[in-house]
Structure 1
Amino acid sequence: MRCPRLLLPAALPLLTLPLLSHAQSLTVAAGEDLGAIVQTPAADQFIITGGKVTSLQQGEGQDTFNMSGGELGSLNQGGAMDDFLMTKGTIKGAFEDGDTARFKGGSIGSIDLKMADNFLEMSENLGVETIVVGNVVSGLGNDTYILAGGTIGRDLSTSSGKDKINVEGVNLKGEIRAGQGDDNFNWTSGKIGKKVDMGADNDTATVSTLDLSSSTVLLDGGTGTDTLTFQQAKVGQGALYVNWESINLNQGSQLTLNDSLALGDLGSDQKPIAAATGTGTLQVDATSTLTSRHGSIVSIQNGNKASVVNAGTIDLSRGNDAQGRLTIQGNYTGNNGTLRLNSMLAGDGAASDRLVVSRGAIGGSTQLLINNLNGAGAATAQNGIQVVEARDGAVSTATAFVQTQTLSAGAYDYRLFKGGVTAGSENSWYLRSTLVAPPA
């Protein structure tokens, strides 16, 4: 049953419709200029295709809102699980208390979904912009955001709950702030202005198919045991990735590390109180690459040991000067990965890129791939050419590195050895030469 259209001009401040036991359906079209509207506690429907309405307060029922044109001062959908669809038009102020919202075109001043298991999808239709001028906020509950297009002028913030945030094309000019709870963040396209803060508890984040090599966006795992995974992504600046216990380079990802990457978090003595994790692990899969000129991987908490597991490639050779370094303060494990270096095949102490491991264990199996950087060959009488440095008590297994290529320069062949002849060199790795006898 359709309720009579008891609508007042905008000059009259409020229209309160009768508290009917049946649902109410209202339509506002072009040319109409109406005041404040309050709908019933039943499951109401409101459609606006044009005209102006000062404000709309839907009731406690499971309400439906559909906007394809016109102007609305503000919208509050009330209690129950309401539906919202907007394809065009303007809500000048706040849209509040929505539950399942699809925003496909038009402009909204701000969005506050409040408490519930909310769903918000933002996208853009051809030729129609989708804009939230201010903030997007949700309260307690397990919220889902699918941000496929449009613009958010400020921040997106969630409260406690297991929230899912997919950034798939939106231009979000501020920050993403996830609250307490095991949250999930996925970034495949679009822009974020400042940072992503995952908040407390055990969160997961995945960055796919993006080039963040010159990005300034901070990804913060917060407290708890958090996992950040890169898939087909290019990444730079370790300082932009903080408070993660696991960082994974997968599916052809590339990390260029010329600063320090600190793993783990320090916990919090403020509510919600969280113990420090202190450290974490960086894993490189068989298709991915970690490149470094002078980078380091450390634990955020002094005394702990970071871990690196390499099934892919660690490449220290990009500088073409045999001065590349990667320092790991903790453990290094090769999982049939590769270590790529430039070395000058000459005498003892000749220049070479170098993997440096401090205080931890060196194990697994890593293939060593050496490029001779203008070395003419020479005899080595002492330790040789250092390619892996174990220091501050680091200990290596006898099979941690494997030579898989023939290395020759001038009249000399070079082979890989664990340990040197000087004290303290027992766990480092060296190239040493032997003179090749000329044919008889």
Structure 2
Amino acid sequence: MHSPRDVRSRWSFRMASWKYDRTPANHMKSVTVQGVLSRAFPSLALAGLTALAGTAFPDIAEAACFNVTRAIAITGSSTAEGQPDEGETITCDATAPNPFTYGVIATTGQDYITVTIGAGAIINALGSGVLLDDYANAVNNGTITTTSLNGFGMSKQYMGELTNNGTIETSGQTAHGMRSLGGFGFLTNTGTVSVSGLNAYGVLAGVNETVVNSGTISATGDGGNGVYMLGGTVLTNTETGVITSTLATGVLGAGSRYTVSNAGIITGGNGTAISLAGGVNTINVTGGTITGDVLTGAGVDTLNWTGAGTIAGEIHLNDGDDVANLTNLTKTTVQPTTLLDGGLGTDALTLTNVQTAQPERFINWESISLLSGSQLTMGGDLTLGDSATETGTLTIDSTSSVVASGGSYAISPSVAGTAVGVTNAGLIDLDAGGTSVGDRLTINGNYIGSDGELRLNTTLGNDSSATDMLVVTGDTAGSTLVDVVNVNGTGAVTTEGIRIISVDGASDGSFTLLGDYEFEGDPAVVGGAYAYRLYKGGVSTPNDGDWYLRSTVSAVEPEPEPEPEPGNPEPEPEEPGEELPLYQPGVPVYEAYPQLLLGLNGLPTLQQRVGNRYWSHAGNVMVAEGADPVGSPYASPQEAGVLIENNGIWGRVEGVHTSMAPRFSTSRTDYDFNTFRMQAGLDGLFVENENGKLIGGLTVHYVHGKARTRSIYGDGEISTDGYGFGGTLTWYGENGFYLDGQAQATWYDSDLESTLAGFDLTSGNNGFGYALSLESGKRIMLNEQWSVTPQAQLVYSNVDFDSFNDVFDAEVSLNRGDSLQGRLGLSLDRQNSWYNDRGLIDRTYVYGIANLYYEFLDGTKVDVSGASFTSRNDRFWGGIGLGGSYNWNNDKYSLYGEGSINTSLANFGDSYAYKGTVGFRVKW
């Protein structure tokens, strides 16, 4: 170190050599210096010192770089005047000469030097632009250009800091742009560093240096790396940072223990973007683009790839117990990375909220974990472990999934004969929203379900149905939910079942179907008209450990011997314990649906509709002609004749409870339904002659039905509302004969529900029905009051409903929905009439009736996804009823009603119906 006295003496020498000239010509140039005055007094500022240029001051004439400490211009090489000694400060500006042809070069061993190259300053040096020793700090805000061998742009040794905010260009061999060899220093680039010489690096960083690049570093010569590091270096390439090598490596580390963080662009011209030779390295990627391979050496290396950024190349972490953490990455982000290689060792790959495909890119990993919503799509096979460890594990957490649709894929160990381990707490998805069927995922090892899920596509049908499959060559354990997605399956009866899970080893795992509903406590999934449950073991191979979907159930009790379908062989009743098809819970409801509509679509008898309108004998009392109406004798029946009521407005209500145990039901369904009906009509006289009267009428009606179905396949409910109108035409003969015709049309709206499944099967289903009736009878008088009326009625009813797809996507349509029922009846009647206290006639007509019914057609049939379901009730029924009419005030008003009970005669009491109707008519 120089003493203060030395400095003063040097100042004195320089001042003595100046020849100051005040002439205007000598004011052409000036140098302004701000910095320390002396190396001995670094805190003493020199401000406002201005040296005037001119021929009288040759040492500082045309000075661009100025030794602030000694207030002298730099005029030559490192031995020339002005070049810095220890602790001195150099400032270069744009003052002429600019460009400056000398570099700022410190003598070896001269430390603590500070160099600032101002904006606009240009150094075109034959050697290095800035060449300093230890503890030096240099800032370039201008331009440094070098052309010679080892002509560095900026260089220092131990510690200190180099900062480039401007431009550095070198073209010589091994002429590095920014160079720091001593270690433990800082290199910062916000500007441009461009090198083109042989083996010239954009930045050369020594041991334990810190490099921050937010500008551009470019190396274009042979062997020219963008950044070259000697070991322990921490490199940060920010979002605006660009590091490129045209013919070599973007970032090359010759030692070990590096930390490279990238959010910008790193490109390697030789195919390698980052190469860190030693181990114990950390690479952090948070954005930007890395073009080329990423390589690390042997040792424990860590890759942290978070949020963004692409790596267009292969990643090789090589030997050692390496760790790769990929976080918050999309499939598009990961796609350019063609290989992620853990190398030899016990390596762990963790994907956290990462969506990626093509698992064949992940090799030599002993542990792969999918966490926090990650999705790994199997575009190829996944191999776990390396040649030394031989195998590995795959762990899927509760939020993550492995997608294996569209082909056959495997998860295998790296060495055949060993077993991988797959633990699933999330989802293994062979469906992925697609319609492909026949996909396979083979786990060549062991599978553990940790309350995870397996989803696969199956065309639900018979044993040979196409299906996705999980194949486990080892053992299974734990619990897994199985979600079966039906793809265009219409269902069928199975025998062995549809195998969806194959287990070669110990089948100790529990697989539970994620069903559409539960049947007998077991989840079941619906395919068309059928339901499938999941069973372990085949029917003929109960100990094979595989898992099957089967659509059968054991019969509990035999059905009554069924009647044959027309043209079909005689069906056989099921035996107890026999396997029956397992139908889905909607089938019993669908089968009973047209039966309910037919029940709502029926037509009443004449008496039920309008009551008695034919009065004779005692029912038609009349005061004899000329007699006093009060207390006078009545006319004889011959004189009184017959009264046939004609014009009237009427309304009635009807309630029916029906319980049906059909003679034959494909789905073994019984049902009850309640019916409420309101009907109103307007009758008027059309024709009258000596033989009788023809009365016509118009009717409107509303009907509501509520049915409950019961079946081994599940109970259900149907709620139906109907609205319609009709017409009637009745001939009443004077001799007691009548002929009644009815026609009506009804529009229905129905909701169908499965009680077992607990949800609606369909809502607002539209239907239509029409009915025609022809009834005839004749009243035969036994005496003045009593008579019998034999009668016959034939009713044809036809219903239909709109086809629909139910909640299980099964197609439901009506195949047959009509009825032709005949009735033979005989009523015993008693009629009477009298004058009331107002002198008006009141009448009564009461009767008891017995009926026989016969159904001529073959019941109803519903098709569910191609399977037909028939419901046919007993053909032969009988019934009895009581009814009557009460008219008063000369037939101004009439109240009528009937109650009846009907039952099947083939199986007495199994099927029955209670019915009651009450009506009121007003004459007009």
| TM norm. shorter chain > 0.5 | yes
Map of 1:42 onto structure 2: 134
Q: Paired residue for 1:361, among 472, 475, 481?
A: 475
> Which AA in structure 1 matches 2:212?
R
> In 2, Cα distance between the equivalents of 1:118 and 1:215?
27
Shift of 1:259: 1.8
Please list every run of 5 or more consecutive structure 2 residues that lacks an aligned counterpart in the other structure. Answer: 1-38, 40-67, 78-98, 171-175, 220-224, 516-523, 553-580, 583-666, 671-924
| Cα deviation 1:317-365 (Å, max 9, x = unaligned) | 244132121111111111100111122222223221110111x111110
CA distance in 2 between partners of 1:124 and 1:353 (Å): 46
Offset at residue 7 of structure 1 (A): 6.2
- Aligned-partner residue type, residue 414 of structure 2: I
Aligned mates of 1:106, 1:123 — CA distance in 2: 11
**2:369–2:395 Cα contact (<8 Å) kept:** yes
- The residue number in structure 2 matching 1:183 is 301
CA distance in 1, matches of 2:540, 2:75: 94
Q: Is the 8 A contact 1:121 1:147 kept in 2?
A: yes
2-structure distance, mates of 1:22, 1:215 = 48
Unpaired runs of 5+ in structure 1?
A: 267-275
Whether the 8 Å CA contact 2:312–2:336 is kept in 1: the answer is no
Range that drifts further, 59-68 or 47-56: 47-56
Q: How far apart are the structure 1 equivalents of 2:104 and 2:117?
A: 14
> Aligned equivalents of 1:259 and 1:220: distance in 2?
16
Secondary structure of the structure 1 residue equivalent to 2:211:
strand
CA contact (8 A) 1:152 1:170 kept: no
Contact residue 196 and residue 219 of structure 1 kept, 8 A: yes
Correspondence 1:12-161 to 2 at 5 A: 16-29=105-118, 30-37=121-128, 39-54=131-146, 55-56=151-152, 58-73=155-170, 74=176, 75-92=178-195, 93-94=200-201, 95-98=203-206, 99-109=209-219, 110-125=225-240, 130-133=242-245, 134-135=248-249, 136-154=251-269, 155-161=273-279
**Distance across 2 between alignment mates of 1:335 and 1:27:** 65
Residue in 2 that maps onto 1:345: 460
Equivalent position amino acid for 1:17 in 2:
A
Is 1:304 equivalent to 2:418 in the alignment? yes
Q: What SS does structure 1 have at the residue aligned with 2:436? A: coil
Separation in 2 of the partners of 1:363 and 1:420? 19
| Length-normalised TM-score, structure 1 | 0.89
Match of 1:378 among 460, 478, 492: 492
8 Å CA contact 1:288, 1:313 repeated in 2: yes
Distance 1:16 1:27 in 2: 13
C-alpha distance after superposition, 1:260-301 (max 9, x if no partner): 1111111xxxxxxxxx01111111111111111311110111
3-state SS of the aligned residue for 2:360?
helix
Indicate the residue corresponding to 2:921 in structure 1: none
> Distance between the aligned counterparts of 1:330 and 1:7, measured in 2?
78
Native 8 Å contact 1:15 1:36 kept in 2: no
Aligned-partner residue type, residue 247 of structure 1: I
- Provide the C-alpha distance between the structure 2 equivalents of 1:216 and 1:100, rounded to a whole number of angstroms: 28
Structure-1 separation of matches of 2:529 and 2:310: 56
Partner Cα separation in structure 2 for residue 259 and residue 161 of structure 1: 31
1:16, distance to aligned residue in structure 2 (A):
4.8
Distance between the aligned counterparts of 2:348 and 2:290, measured in 1?
23
DSSP 3-state at the match of 2:183 = coil
CA distance in 2, matches of 1:427, 1:61: 70
Q: Which has the larger radius of gyration?
A: 2
Specify the alignment match of 1:415 in structure 2: 533
Local SS of the residue matching 1:209: strand
Between 48-57 and 237-246, report the one with greater CA deviation: 48-57
Distance in 1 of aligned mates of 2:383 and 2:239: 38
Distance of 1:304 and 1:7 partners within structure 2: 76
Q: 1:271 maps to which residue?
A: none
| Counterpart amino acid of residue 184 in structure 1 | T
1:134-168, Cα deviation, whole Å (9 max, x unpaired): 52111323211110113323421112231110112
Instruction: Provide the secondary structure at the position in 2 that maps to 1:395.
Output: coil
Matches within 5 A, 1:277-296: 277-293=389-405, 294-296=408-410
Q: Is the 8 A contact 2:156 2:162 kept in 1?
A: no
Please give the alpha-carbon distance, in whole angstroms, between the structure 1 residues aligned to 2:234 and 2:337. Answer: 29
Alignment CA distance shift 1:71-1:167 (3 Å):
same
Provide closer, same or farther for how the CA distance between residues 25 and 320 of structure 1 changes in structure 2, counting only shifts above 3 A: same
Paired amino acid for 2:159:
Q
Counterpart AA for 1:299: P
* Separation in 1, partners of 2:410, 2:76: 69
Contact 1:15 1:35 in 2 (8 A): no
Structure 1 residue 170 corresponds to structure 2 residue 288:
yes
How many angstroms apart in 2 are the aligned matches of 1:240 and 1:61?
A: 43
Decide whether aligned partners of structure 1 residues 243 and 8 sit closer, same or farther in structure 2, where only a CA change above 3 A counts: farther
Moved more, 19-28 or 58-67: 19-28
Question: How far, CA to CA, are the matches of 1:439 and 1:120 in structure 2?
Answer: 78
Once the two structures are TM-superposed, the CA of residue 49 in structure 1 deviates from its matched residue by 1.2
* Map of 2:824 onto structure 1: none
Q: Does 1:396 align with 2:507?
A: yes
Q: Shift of the alpha carbon at 1:386?
A: 0.4
Cα distance in 2 for residues equivalent to 1:11 and 1:50: 11
Count of residue correspondences = 423
Q: 1:3: Cα distance to partner?
A: 5.7
Instruction: Determine if contact 1:310/1:336 at 8 Å carries over to the other structure.
Output: yes
Query: One-letter code of the match for 1:307?
Result: G
* SS in structure 2 of the partner of residue 239 of structure 1: helix
Contact 2:282 2:302 in 1 (8 A): yes
Query: What one-letter code is carried by the residue in structure 1 that aligns with 2:126?
Result: G
In structure 1, the residue matched to 2:372 is 251
Cα gap change, 1:307/1:158 in structure 2, threshold over 3 Å: closer, same or farther?
same
Report if aligned partners of 2:393, 2:420 keep a CA contact under 8 Å in 1.
yes
Cα RMSD (Å): 2.5
Q: Match for 1:78: what amino acid?
A: L
Amino acid at match of 1:180: A
Q: Distance in 2 between matches of 1:101 and 1:224?
A: 31
Distance apart, 1:389 and its partner CA: 1.2
Structure 1's 101 and 3: CA in aligned 2 closer, same or farther, altered over 3 A?
farther
Counterpart residue type for residue 199 of structure 1: N
- Aligned counterparts of 1:210 and 1:411: Cα–Cα separation in 2: 44
1:117 offset after TM fit, Å? 1.7
Return the letter of the residue paired with 2:204: E
